[in-house]
Structure 1
Amino acid sequence: MQSQDVAQHSAPAGRPGPPGPAVDVEQAEAALVEHYPRLVRLAYLVLPAGPGRHRRVLTAHALAQRALPRGRTPAPVIPAQSTGRDGDPGYACVRLRVLRAALAAGRAGGRRAWPGRDRLPSPLPQVWGLRLFPRSGGADELALDQRLSALSAAGRAAYVLRGLEKLPDEKVREVLAAAGAADPDAALREADGVPERYALLDSPEFDPCSLQARPTDLMRRRRHARAALTAAAALAVCGALVARSDGGRGADGAAAPPYARNPAAEAALDPGRVTRASPTAWRTAARTGFSVWPARGDRTGDRALLRRALAVWARPGATVRVSATPGTPTGGPAGPPQLLYAGDVDGARVVLFHDGLRIARYAEPEDSTAGAVLDLARVDGATGAEAEALVLGRADGNVRYLTAPWVTRAAERDLLKPSAGAMDLGLAHGVTGPLAGPFRRASACTSWNVLQLTDAGGTRLFTDLGELVPAHLTAGRPGAPREAAGAEALRTWSPYGCSLAAARGLGVRSVNAWAFAGQPLPEGGGSASWVCTRAETWRGDGARTLAQFRTPGRAHGAVVARSDTSTACGPRAAHVLAGVLWKARSGSWYLLAAGGRDTASLRVTGDVTARAEGPLLAVRARRGATAVLKGTLDDGRTIGALR
């Protein structure tokens, strides 16, 4: 249960407790040897991911190996939480030193580089002739690693201490403060934004002690050192001359060198083989998806630009910023992709491709390939509304879209103001005018701008969630939702638009808002509304479901329950149950609960015991009470509260 009227204030950052028993070198060494794989895993998870897995593995081992104290040192009174480490001051001491060094590495180098030589924990270990990296995990591990890489070093440490070390938040604050984190509370808040997939931290994906090895360049190692240096110097001179002559644009731009000749791969990189849909294909197609979009833009004939875009997609170089929505494969195209757009957008040259599974967006500055960007998004099965718009570019807080050829009008609407009109954006060869993005730096959410598109089939709303494909907004009972552009749907969405920020960066396909209950409040407090918002993803799992509660006079709903694994509020399970502690004007507290119309009865146990027939329950409770909610559906099935 959550209390709506009581603000939650974070406690001050925990300070290290008094020193524990002194730990000598032998005791610390015994703990390090016994728990070495765990300590190296902890360091690997906290280190930034930018420089690559090989260097991250070696640095994690270096941090653990340099964790031994030089003499006797006080041990922090922060016990480990698992058998074999409980109350071991040696382990607590070594773990703290590893964490302190990992946080220092993250602060010194950020996501793109390690700290300078004077800050590196150790020059050892070194590996010559091999590249080492952990075994690859699945899509869930990849998604978690991407989410963690977006956090600060302290945020990653907070998440890992919770999930790997099983420390409660109070102890996490103490460890982070002792390790030198500037703001442990901020680190915990960062960690709150990552789904609690703690079991994945034990995956081989994050095990730097179980490694795969691959050789470095074998041919180069055969050459004599002096000949290699001479050749490298000559190559550098030639490269500088070429760069000087063509403004920094080689044939492949910012792409990495090719690994080996492969006819199939080379065919996929040939701009002359890129496919293009007929300008009128969408008019007679049985399925209106990205495959029938024509190629648009004023650079569709720029073979050099298309060549660079294809080469970077296949082999992004070290300077290319690459992003992919969760669950999206990041490899190059298996064959020649379809060209959707190539042109100039807000000071950049942009190319959009579709390979049947993904949208790839390549962008480079107008005068150089330095700073090239590659974005990938999964769009398999997209049709109709799901294939109506793509992000062309973002600049100065604005978003510009490329729309489907069947779209006749584009407009901007504030989702929080349902009675306000839509402002026309204009369309020029499918490209919209700039739309103010919904995200603001200020904490208060006063507007949420969405894209409104109109075609022969009606009007639809889409929201930018920081990805290539905007999310389609709908409203109504799961399984039979309607478009969110209607007057009733707009009123439903209005108090809950700001909650869309919770679905940012999840690879969201669509978001539905379902007003599943209205509830009279005790003591004549008016009528409250219950709404469930569910963000479905392109990969089919990891849907984010929020149960929200709103009382009269409040501009926004309050999130009272959240799940990333529940089927509630979705087409497979069109039911939901949620509860909240509510404070009346008199000062009395009540436990309120509500389910969908198919809920026959509700039962609550724990600090509060009550039963009610029908989908609503209101019973007096004390502040801070905890309870367990159960509901019985009309068909006799039992459901629990969303959490």
Structure 2
Amino acid sequence: MPSQDAAHHPAPSSPAGPVVDVERAEAALTEHYPRLVRIAYLVLPAGTGRGRRVLTAHSLTQRALPRTRVPAPAPLSRSAGRDGDPGYALVRLRVVRTALEAGLPLRRRAWPKRAQLPPLLPQVWGLKLFPHPGGADGLALDQRLAALSGPARAACVLRGLERLPDGDVRAVLAAAGVADPDAALAEADRAPAAYHLLDSPEFDPCALQARPTDLLRRRRHLNAVLVAGAALAVCGALLGPAGDGRGPDAAAAPPYARNPAARAALDPGKLTRVSPTAWKTSARVDFSVWPARGGLTGDTALLRRALAVWARPGGSVQVSATPGTPSGGPAGPPQLLYAGAVDGARVVILHDGLRIARYAEPADGTRGAVLDLARVDGADRAGASAVVLSRTDGDVRYLTAPWVRGAGARDLRAPGSGATDLTLTDGVTPPLAGPALEPGPCASWNVLQLTDGTGTRLVTDLGELVPARLTAGRPGATGTGGAGSATGAASGAEVLRTWAPFACSLSAVRSAGVRSVNAWAFAEQPLPDASGSAAWVCTRAETWRGGGARVLTQFHTPGGRFGAVTAEAEDVPACGARRPQVLAGVLWKSAAGAWYLLAAGSPDVASVGATGGAEGTARGHLLTVRAERGARADLKGTLEDGRSISGLR
């Protein structure tokens, strides 16, 4: 794809100097294409995102081929190898020049240069392409290069990647149109040099990883296009002008709010902003006392887009809401909790007293914006400890409450390992690995540990906007581990040991609007044939909407890494604060090959009986009966107060 930019910036050469014909330039470009693309990728500004930088670098390199014979650049001090080839020197100069032009800001009264426009080609549909990730040193170098000006970045690349002496770097920069090459070299001198990393795979835009774009969103887009086309065909004659405000609210769908109350809810100037110290004196300690944080809280255009999309998301916006969460816009001006740039996106988090709304858009536009809604009414200090700020490549970044003093990451499957301390920056955690969700054995379950003035608690990402709080102990009990206690902390050694075999069962309650999950070790049962003792645990997941609680009973034998789910129920009072009593059973095979029906109830179960495929009774809350393989039995129990209880199914 040839470029016309060389006509505006002719390379310095005497009229009688050598020229480079198109064939020679093409040969040099083809032979050194990967290196030229790497130069363009490194010189381009990092703010455009890695995927777009890759496509832009390829586009600029392909456009570096001249249309006609062009005067060769002035010869450099080195004459051997690539630098002795006038064709390579020419295309390299054109790549550097257009990469520098691509990073220039657009001016209102000047036509944009071709390099400043998004590339028409190459384009890849249905795939996201980006270089392979590197280590911490490569990430640090990329961040240092991003902080430099374009000319200084080009100087670093010519020095480190092309191994040019400063005199030649100065000549190339001058030929590329840099006004002050000496200043660019001086700025490059102040940046720590790690030039050997410029040859690493993480800066190679020709060795790429490919990932699909959002498949469900693409399908919805296709359906939306078909429906919109049919609607336009039927009602096209009735459609009027597009209406007001389309520019700043491009991701929102018209018509826009017209009554005063609705307009006020969409006015970024009327957003509620709370003092950073309000939580210290407030009678309520929840999301309502979070201050507005982030570097874009003053970006009126971004806030207006977020409010407009919340009120009426357009067809291109991917919307998600936890079960039981209303999806309509706010009734009045909501509270601003966060607005900032996170992991290549602009993120806004809002709170209207009932819900948390998270709006995110790519850093380079509004196409692909997302809106997530989560119900948080009735949140307390523990329930309002954190929200999910972003998820990228399996990592999760959280925004923590202003009262959180420390944060750490730990593996719930490894209770003996300590927590890894996390540095909070204005309440934002660094990215930490989320719970393992890949098919196959569950080797780990990573959680976030938060510490404030009242204790330490654990929360886990269950695929929603607000992480679920983890507790342990008898429901309604008091103390640091109880689900009904003031803190509900689940960080003590005993509590971590309780959760360890059952952590992976948390995947069963993903995306269900879960507020908290409590694990209660309600019984320990001696096993027949001197096989040791088994633990019975009941986990109950409470939701923000009240109904829909999920209850699992699990059975863990000595030496086993995981607990086995023996019963599962929804919307039952068992294992809850209102009715903690529970009874469950399992068919178990001993090491000697004998089969048994094992049943256990909570400590207040006075007797247990089994009928059907296996029969037997026992006083107390434990029952062991010989059984046949595949036998099915019905369990009944009697509580100490005389009430009956059935086995959980």
1:560-597 deviations in whole A, cap 9, x for unaligned? 10011211000011111000000011111000000000
Of 604, 626, 635, which residue of structure 2 is paired with 1:620?
626
Q: Distance in 1 between matches of 2:224 and 2:546?
A: 40
Native 8 Å contact 2:541 2:551 kept in 1: yes
**Shift of the alpha carbon at 1:407?**
0.5
Of 417, 423, 431, which residue of structure 1 is paired with 2:414?
417
Flag the 1:588–1:453 CA change in 2: closer, same or farther, 3 A. same
2:372 aligns with 375
Of 477, 481, 485, which residue of structure 1 is paired with 2:491?
485
Q: Distance in 2 between matches of 1:264 and 1:284?
A: 30
Q: Distance in 2 between matches of 1:318 and 1:368?
A: 16
Native 8 Å contact 2:540 2:575 kept in 1: yes
2:562 aligns with 556
Of 623, 644, 648, which residue of structure 2 is paired with 1:638?
644
SS at match of 1:600: strand
Of 504, 507, 529, which residue of structure 1 is paired with 2:535?
529
Flag the 1:414–1:572 CA change in 2: closer, same or farther, 3 A. same
Q: Distance in 1 between matches of 2:519 and 2:298?
A: 43
Is 1:353 equivalent to 2:359 in the alignment?
no
SS at match of 1:313: helix
**Shift of the alpha carbon at 1:111?**
4.8
1:24 aligns with none
Native 8 Å contact 1:425 1:434 kept in 2: no
Flag the 1:435–1:127 CA change in 2: closer, same or farther, 3 A. closer
2:502 aligns with 496
**Who wins on radius of gyration, i.e. which is larger?**
2
2:326 aligns with 329
Native 8 Å contact 1:607 1:625 kept in 2: yes
What 5-or-longer segments of structure 2 have no aligned partner?
Answer: 1-214, 483-487
Q: Distance in 2 between matches of 1:631 and 1:270?
A: 60
1:104-160 deviations in whole A, cap 9, x for unaligned? xx99x955535999xx9xxxxx99899xxxxxxxxxxxxxxxxxxxxxxxxxxxxxx
Taking only aligned residues, the RMSD between alpha carbons, in angstroms, comes to 2.6
**Shift of the alpha carbon at 1:442?**
3.4
1:113 aligns with 222
1:207-231 deviations in whole A, cap 9, x for unaligned? xxxxxxxxx97xx655xxxxx7xx8
SS at match of 2:358: strand
Paired letter, 1:615: H
Correspondence list, 1:217-236, <5 A: 221=237
1:538 aligns with 544
Q: Distance in 2 between matches of 1:373 and 1:313?
A: 10
**Shift of the alpha carbon at 1:435?**
1.3
Q: Distance in 2 between matches of 1:526 and 1:310?
A: 60
Q: Distance in 2 between matches of 1:443 and 1:559?
A: 17
1:250 aligns with 247
Native 8 Å contact 1:566 1:642 kept in 2: no
Q: Distance in 1 between matches of 2:613 and 2:287?
A: 55
Q: Distance in 2 between matches of 1:404 and 1:488?
A: 27
TM-score by length of 2: 0.63
1:363-406 deviations in whole A, cap 9, x for unaligned? 00001000000000000010110001001101111110111101
Is 1:429 equivalent to 2:538 in the alignment?
no
1:583 aligns with 589
2:340 aligns with 343
Of 278, 288, 291, which residue of structure 2 is paired with 1:291?
288
SS at match of 1:454: strand
Is 1:452 equivalent to 2:452 in the alignment?
no
Q: Distance in 2 between matches of 1:376 and 1:540?
A: 17
Native 8 Å contact 2:257 2:263 kept in 1: no
Paired letter, 1:582: W
Is 1:599 equivalent to 2:597 in the alignment?
no
1:177 aligns with none
Q: Distance in 1 between matches of 2:266 and 2:230?
A: 34
Paired letter, 1:313: W
Q: Distance in 1 between matches of 2:436 and 2:513?
A: 17
Flag the 1:309–1:129 CA change in 2: closer, same or farther, 3 A. closer
What 5-or-longer segments of structure 1 have no aligned partner?
Answer: 1-105, 121-125, 131-215, 223-227, 243-248
How many residue pairs align between the two structures?
425
Flag the 1:539–1:391 CA change in 2: closer, same or farther, 3 A. same
- Specify which structure has the bigger relative contact order, considering alpha-carbon pairs within 8 angstroms and separated by 6 or more residues: 1
Moved more, 424-433 or 258-267: 258-267
Native 8 Å contact 1:293 1:340 kept in 2: yes
**Shift of the alpha carbon at 1:607?**
1.5
Native 8 Å contact 2:521 2:537 kept in 1: yes
Is 1:475 equivalent to 2:481 in the alignment?
no
Q: Distance in 1 between matches of 2:222 and 2:250?
A: 23
Flag the 1:115–1:587 CA change in 2: closer, same or farther, 3 A. farther
SS at match of 1:431: coil
Native 8 Å contact 2:574 2:580 kept in 1: yes
Q: Distance in 2 between matches of 1:585 and 1:250?
A: 71
1:518 aligns with 524
**Shift of the alpha carbon at 1:251?**
1.1
**Shift of the alpha carbon at 1:439?**
2.7
TM-score by length of 1: 0.63
1:167-220 deviations in whole A, cap 9, x for unaligned? xxxxxxxxxxxxxxxxxxxxxxxxxxxxxxxxxxxxxxxxxxxxxxxxx97xx6
Q: Distance in 1 between matches of 2:552 and 2:621?
A: 18
2:82 aligns with none
Native 8 Å contact 2:224 2:315 kept in 1: no
Q: Which runs of at least 4 in structure 1 moved beyond 2 Å after TM superposition?
A: 109-117, 126-130
Paired letter, 1:326: P
Q: Distance in 1 between matches of 2:425 and 2:275?
A: 19
Correspondence list, 1:398-409, <5 A: 398-409=395-406
Moved more, 439-448 or 572-581: 439-448
**Shift of the alpha carbon at 1:609?**
1.4
Q: Distance in 2 between matches of 1:254 and 1:536?
A: 35
Is 1:310 equivalent to 2:316 in the alignment?
no
**Shift of the alpha carbon at 1:545?**
0.6
Native 8 Å contact 1:604 1:629 kept in 2: yes
1:72-125 deviations in whole A, cap 9, x for unaligned? xxxxxxxxxxxxxxxxxxxxxxxxxxxxxxxxxx99x955535999xx9xxxxx
